[in-house]
Amino acid sequence: MKKNIILIGFMGVGKGTTARAYAKKYATFIVDTDDLIESKENRKIKTIFKEDGEKYFRDCEQQCADWIESSVDNSFISCGGGFYNVSNLKKLGTVILLDASYDWIFNRLSTAENSKSKLKKRPLFSEPKKAKKLYSEREEAYKKVADLVINVESKSLKMIIKEIHKNVYI
Ligand code: S3P
């Protein structure tokens, strides 16, 4: 069994922030699946969606998962919101879901200091109505694949990373 932490959850729930805080405290290596895809493609996620569509992006996510399976261990992997759907997710490490209600996430994103750019870089968050629908479609599926669910709504970053650390090997 791989010793990676696989952090999943809906867009804007705070996966990147959590990964950075965890890496700082516990000196782990972070891999961000969106960053990997952007580097390999040499273009932004929103450009990939615009030029080649969502299906192409999902294929990139699967390739990224295959690479992690063959080559990455002992790392903290922060995943894009749709990455939970790759076929080999459970082989990649311990899957941890950051969970919160849609309203909490929407509020977090829209009150963030750089809220405009946070929303703009996420093509599937361009229309809140559609994003809310996507959230309800995925809510149960996220929970099904997770080894551990952490509700983040009333927790500090410090509490969240402690809870992750208690439950994993790295
Ligand atoms: C997506 C989430 C995004 C990014 C892409 C698709 C999704 O990542 O991978 O825009 O399907 O939920 P974040 O969860 O980091 O925003």
- Across the chain, which has 170 residues, the per-10-residue mean pLDDT values are 96 97 96 98 97 98 98 97 98 98 95 88 91 97 98 97 92
Residue 118: the pLDDT is 87
CA–CA distance, 22 with 53 (Å, rounded to integer):
33
**Nearest CA to 123 among 131, 135, 113?**
131
Maximum separation of any 2 CA atoms in the chain, in Å: 42
Residue 120: the pLDDT is 86
Residue 17: the pLDDT is 96
Is 68 near ligand 1, meaning CB less than 6 Å away? no
The residue with tokens 């965890």 is: 22
Residue 89: the pLDDT is 98
CA–CA distance, 40 with 27 (Å, rounded to integer):
25
Is 80 near ligand 1, meaning CB less than 6 Å away? yes
Is 81 near ligand 1, meaning CB less than 6 Å away? yes
Residue 169: the pLDDT is 79
The residue with tokens 């952090």 is: 7
Residue 24: the pLDDT is 96
How many degrees, rounded to 5, is the angle at CA 47 between CA 146 and CA 35? 45
- 152: which 2 tokens? 């983040």
Residue 164: the pLDDT is 97
Residue 126: the pLDDT is 87
Is 9 near ligand 1, meaning CB less than 6 Å away? no
CB distance 124 to 11 below 8 Å: yes
Residue 54: the pLDDT is 97
Residue 149 CB partners (closer than 8 Å, separation 6+): 96, 97, 99, 143
Is 14 near ligand 1, meaning CB less than 6 Å away? no
Output the CA 16–ligand 1 centroid distance in Å. 11
Output the CA 73–ligand 1 centroid distance in Å. 23
Q: Structure pTM? A: 0.97
